[in-house]
Amino acid sequence: MIDDIFTFENLYEAYKKCRLSKQHKGEVIRFEIDLARNLNKLVDVISKHTYKINGYKVFTITDPKKRSVEALPFKDRIVIRCLCDTILCERIERQLIFDNCACRKKKGTLFARNRLLKFLHDEFYRNGKSNDFYFLKIDIAKYFPSINHHILIWQLKYCGFSKEELKFIWDIIKAGEYMNKEKGLPLGNQSSQWFALLYLNKVDRFIKENLKIKGYVRYMDDMVLIHNDKKYLQECLIKIREICNCELKLLLNEPKTQIGQVKNGIDFLGFNHRMTETGKVIIKLRQSAKIRLKRYIKTMNKLYEKEIIDSEYIQIRKNAFTTHLKYSNEKLLFDRINKKYWR
């Protein structure tokens, strides 16, 4: 029941999580001035089925590439967070394969990269300690804008949601500018991340269960398959493309979809992973990622000089970059950048 999901207690817990690192924002402060009343109002409108998501605030980001992000007002972020924490994440989680790595507890980019390393080493030994084998890397063209609403809600029906819950989820999917559209999800929603994890689940299971690919990892719409037979990977690509096109109404990003030898390197999550003849994997930042890193640090310094951010935030970002590069072969690069650019 919807009333059991959106209780005052659940919404309050969601509010506390949504305000983290945002407590200085004006809309958060305004919401907190009359916190109890605002939360009770959300409980009331949801129970009366009169709740509607307000319009999205759209802004553009350019890192790592130019894209539009739609952000919800603070009160709506609380509702979405409450939905995700109480039922959405748990129900969708049950459907996903282990190596679907984005946005899930105890997973993430480092987990995905480590799984890729494991699969490379496994194939190295299966191949008689040789790095003469192949990878298939698949990328979906404009993934979030291409997710079909009707196909998504059909998939959600098999996750155990009630009709009332599905109706609420449908209203979220069709909110704002998406009301009269057949496809597309806003990038800024937590719910959109989970919908995107589920949407390609059919492809995940086809690769693991039908194609019998042992070495497979996915991070959102980036997929990597490892195999010793290039011809078989070519056949896999044809079948995967057919499922994406015909059943999910998705197009592959053909320039980024490729089959190659692992000894020449695999670009995955901002790093190039190249296996040597001895089985060692050299992990280097892609050149474009190096340029973005330097540009980002310069921007942080400018914001610090203008007192828009403080030294504590700078330290948090430094720690994040240190962790990001820790498990790569880029320590010297980071030390050099650290000395030259960071304040």
In SS3 terms, the chain reads as CHHHHCCHHHHHHHHHHHCCCCCCCHHHHHHHHCHHHHHHHHHHHHHCCCCCCCCCEEEEECCCCCEEEEECCHHHHHHHHHHHHHHHHHHHHCCCCCCECCCCCCCCHHHHHHHHHHHHHHHHHHCCCCCCCEEEEEEECCHHHHCEHHHHHHHHHCCCCCHHHHHHHHHHHCCHHHCCCCECCCCCCHHHHHHHHHHCHHHHHHHHHHCCCCEEEEECCEEEEEECCHHHHHHHHHHHHHHHHHHCCCCECCCCCEEEEHHHCEEECCEEEEECCCCCEEEEECHHHHHHHHHHHHHHHHHHHCCCCCHHHHHHHHHHHHHHHHCCCCHHHHHHHHHHCCC
Lowest mean pLDDT among 8-12, 192-196, 268-272: 268-272
Give the pLDDT band (50/70/90) at residue 298.
confident
Kindly report whether the global pTM for this prediction surpasses the value 0.85: yes
Other C-beta atoms lying within 10 Å of the C-beta of residue 3: 10
Q: Is the pLDDT reported for residue 251 higher than 80?
A: yes
pLDDT for 314: 75
pLDDT, tens digit, 9 for 90 and up, residues 256-272: 999 999 999 999 998 99
| Residues 6+ away with beta carbon under 8 Å from 113 | 268, 269, 271, 273, 283, 327
Mean pLDDT of 172-188: 88
Q: What is the rounded average pLDDT of the residues 290-308?
A: 78
Report whether pLDDT(99) > 60.
yes
In this prediction, residue 308 has a pLDDT band, given cuts at 50, 70 and 90, of confident
Q: What is the mean pLDDT of residues 3-7?
A: 93
pLDDT band at 318 (very low <50, low <70, confident <90, very high): confident
Mean pLDDT of the chain: 89
pLDDT range class, residue 204, cuts 50, 70, 90:
very high
pLDDT at 98: 97
Mean pLDDT across 49-78: 78
For the stretch 275-286, pLDDT in tens is 999 999 999 888
